[in-house]
Structure 1
């Protein structure tokens, strides 16, 4: 039996890592091993699938708790559960399938192991500008698609070679007594498909699906946030034998920007001012995330840390025409590499200013408090 790698080791985290640490490590590794960044590298592709499988479990609190307690046996067949109870008696689906089989019909779900093809996950990286306006991206995924030779039937004779399973009469599930319970399991004859194939297709060996690389267009909406997961129904792995395909989940990673920082619907931009501009006041022109420009009036005496709010110039709001605000954060730069004349002018200014609180109120006030502090201690 193949050795199963610990999911925490796969994501390079500890068992005490927070949800945010798990997400951060997943994003880093997913970007490192993404097929688009490692074309033709089978090892990177396998690692990418392993990373997504581990993240799918550890990001979910309930799945993570089950994994911490029971390990891989919580999700796979053949493992012993708590107290030595064998989960494989419930059709080999693990802890998650126990609840699916016992309560699935109550929740309106179809019983059986093959209710749909497997879901798959991938990641797409976009710029902050693309997140603001929305963008259509093509993603490449390695997945299972319907076999072209048998048109997904799994039969060498096409539909004519597919028959209704005689054991479950096409239901894909059978009932069995388990102590006081009557439990539904996938039919052992057709493995939940509800159909059997007498002459398997030579291309897919009766599976009805083959592995292929697909390019899928993903519409990323305006206002999307970093870490958002987009679900594309029916774009996952094909199920084969008439089973509907699974879903594709695309995790969106928004790249950092050289000018803007985003906080929800608000945008922050750090703008440096020369000392004279801050002291005398000025008008500056700043960029906006939508590609336009706007002017901001800086009043005389502006200090480092001052904020100026531009209403409606911020980020787009998901599924809305509204926009947040933009905040200009000012920092006052100290001049460097002064000429002789510049030094003379600054020295004249410093001499004339002296201890006048009107020129440097924070400086004067601070040192007065320092003096009072030392006098108090004495």
Structure 2
């Protein structure tokens, strides 16, 4: 089981954005590769702290994590299972300030990666529409994605401005003395590589927009707005040493014609006639796994709730499967023939037609309480 992100950073769930950032900086400096050369355990802690900060520093990701835990990002193997060093150094360099040689992450990264910065390609975002049946049962989707890839025939050479480092170091004289700063190389954009040769149909960076079919395994129980990550299926990075970005998949739940979702439970409104309520009947209703037939007992009251166990949606956190709640509504006719009116008129004072609620005929508030228990 993965460690709790709050425990990794040593903070409470009520921590502010400033407290989260401060806690991450403290952990990252403590376990930075430059301070712990060759220490695999420190490197692992460094990665864990960065992964925790990536989620908790983003309000949307934090909200999903607080509600669904690690499953909000890891369902079906969608990345999130440990960041690599390139991700950390490229995303969170501003957190360190001058903690390592005045160059932010530049100094630390050169010590880890052999002196050359690996740039990550940009992420792509798509929205996938799912039916309630697909959400309840899980589904494999094949989606066509347009992503940038290095064009065939493109070659690169070492940037002469930064000598392949991806950064330019400048030393300035100030009233406080000589200060060293490192900035991203403007010639190569931080890749350490520049174009040598490229085909005529490629862009200025040697990239070509291509269409690719990506297989996405969506686990059962996802919710509207949840975001899944397919690692390495975003845009490729220009240069010969970059790593591809990720494909971020946002879930959009399509409304169902007869079923309403509430968490892992489903609701179904069943309308029956007055005579069916009196005499009893059987009805066929929709579920996420197909139609089922249920029995309506004679004398069923309007508002009665029938619970079909485990006919709802599986929990994304593997806590089981929700139920299907069938709300029985007795339909009262609005127009009657004279013969029908005469019949009901004769029954107006009949003892069998007088309301006599029993203990099992719960009130509206008791039914609502039962629904949420």
Change (3 A) 1:263 1:107: farther
- Name whichever of 200-209 and 309-318 sits farther off: 200-209
Aligned ranges 1:19-168 → 2 under 5 Å: 61=59, 98-99=94-95, 104=105, 115-150=119-154, 155=155, 162-168=156-162
Check whether the contact 1:146–1:209 (CA below 8 A) recurs between aligned residues. yes
Residue 216 of structure 1 is matched in structure 2 by 214
| Cα separation, 1, equivalents of 2:238 and 2:346 | 86
Change (3 A) 1:307 1:360: closer
- Name whichever of 176-185 and 187-196 sits farther off: 176-185
Check whether the contact 2:141–2:215 (CA below 8 A) recurs between aligned residues. yes
Change (3 A) 1:245 1:60: same
Check whether the contact 2:136–2:313 (CA below 8 A) recurs between aligned residues. yes
Change (3 A) 1:205 1:355: closer
| Cα separation, 2, equivalents of 1:205 and 1:285 | 59
Check whether the contact 1:168–1:194 (CA below 8 A) recurs between aligned residues. yes
| Cα separation, 2, equivalents of 1:62 and 1:216 | 25
Q: In structure 1, the residue corresponding to 2:275 is in which secondary structure?
A: helix
**What is the CA deviation profile of residues 57-76 of structure 1, one whole-angstrom value per residue up to 9, with x for unaligned ones?**
xx95499xxxxxxxxxxxxx
**What is the CA deviation profile of residues 271-306 of structure 1, one whole-angstrom value per residue up to 9, with x for unaligned ones?**
1121233344444443321114142444625133x2
Change (3 A) 1:331 1:216: same
Change (3 A) 1:163 1:350: same
Check whether the contact 1:282–1:300 (CA below 8 A) recurs between aligned residues. no
Residue 334 of structure 1 is matched in structure 2 by 332
Check whether the contact 1:281–1:302 (CA below 8 A) recurs between aligned residues. no
Unaligned 5+ segments in structure 2 are 1-56, 62-90, 99-103, 360-373
| Cα separation, 2, equivalents of 1:235 and 1:327 | 40
**What is the CA deviation profile of residues 247-292 of structure 1, one whole-angstrom value per residue up to 9, with x for unaligned ones?**
1111111110011111111111111121233344444443321114
Change (3 A) 1:222 1:351: same
Change (3 A) 1:139 1:301: closer
Change (3 A) 1:197 1:265: same
Change (3 A) 1:357 1:254: closer
- Is 2:169 the partner of 1:170? no
Q: In structure 2, the residue corresponding to 1:350 is in which secondary structure?
A: coil
**What is the CA deviation profile of residues 187-216 of structure 1, one whole-angstrom value per residue up to 9, with x for unaligned ones?**
234321112334454432551211233332
Which of structure 1's runs of 4+ aligned residues deviate more than 6 A? 105-114, 178-181
Check whether the contact 2:232–2:247 (CA below 8 A) recurs between aligned residues. yes
* CA RMSD in angstroms, aligned pairs only: 3.8
Change (3 A) 1:107 1:309: farther
C-alpha deviation, 1:347, in angstroms: 1.2
Instruction: Give the number of the structure with larger relative contact order, counting CA–CA contacts within 8 Å between residues 6 or more apart.
Output: 2
What is the count of residue pairs matched by the alignment?
261
| Cα separation, 2, equivalents of 1:292 and 1:186 | 61
Residue 231 of structure 1 is matched in structure 2 by 229
Change (3 A) 1:357 1:264: closer
**What is the CA deviation profile of residues 315-361 of structure 1, one whole-angstrom value per residue up to 9, with x for unaligned ones?**
12226383111111111111144233222211111143599553899
Residue 302 of structure 1 is matched in structure 2 by 301
Q: Please, what TM-score do these two structures have when normalized by structure 2?
A: 0.59
Check whether the contact 1:113–1:191 (CA below 8 A) recurs between aligned residues. no
Residue 267 of structure 2 is matched in structure 1 by 268
